[in-house]
Chain A
Amino acid sequence: GNSVTQMEGPVTLSEEAFLTINCTYTATGYPSLFWYVQYPGEGLQLLLKATKADDKGSNKGFEATYRKETTSFHLEKGSVQVSDSAVYFCALTPIYNQGGKLIFGQGTELSVKP
């Protein structure tokens, strides 16, 4: 079946540190991959996406590359800020997806200290 596995949190970093949040997936075929972010007290927001192998999604300084060989989609940012503190979710859409069904990882909480 389809599944997403993320590194467990919480992850605590100092401001300007480098961030990596690991995400691997299991899926039939080649799904689209996403990172969503949930700030405290808010709903989820799409951060970035990639729809095919070797695609790189990027937004707000965050990047992730769709790696078919390793079935991974790790999230990276070169220099985190306090405002990046949130929960990050890796997700995929099944290839047969007709619409709004996403398979989410468990989420990784990021806390950035000044």
Chain B
Amino acid sequence: NAGVTQTPKFRVLKTGQSMTLLCAQDMNHEYMYWYRQDPGMGLRLIHYSVGEGTTAKGEVPDGYNVSRLKKQNFLLGLESAAPSQTSVYFCASGRIQGTETQYFGPGTRLLVL
């Protein structure tokens, strides 16, 4: 099993450009999450999904959109990138909510100039 994979690993964008980050998991997990990690701020939840076709806002959703068209994939979109969105983005998945372990992908480093 590959676990949780993320594409791309690294990307440089100019302000105003758009892009989509792809997360895929092969563990048949219901729950998927997108976090961003900035120095000194830990991990902050952007959006999450409790199942195929459903999404919900997390702690810092502004400037991002998500879609969960297939159970194994969770996409994070930036419609108009801003320098404040320079960060490391982690996707995670979990089997059930409430007590489950979250399994993280390797991360995507995004630099917005």
| A, B co-complexed | no
> Which residues of B are at the interface with A, using a C-beta cutoff of 8 A?
none
> Which residues of A are at the interface with B, using a C-beta cutoff of 8 A?
none
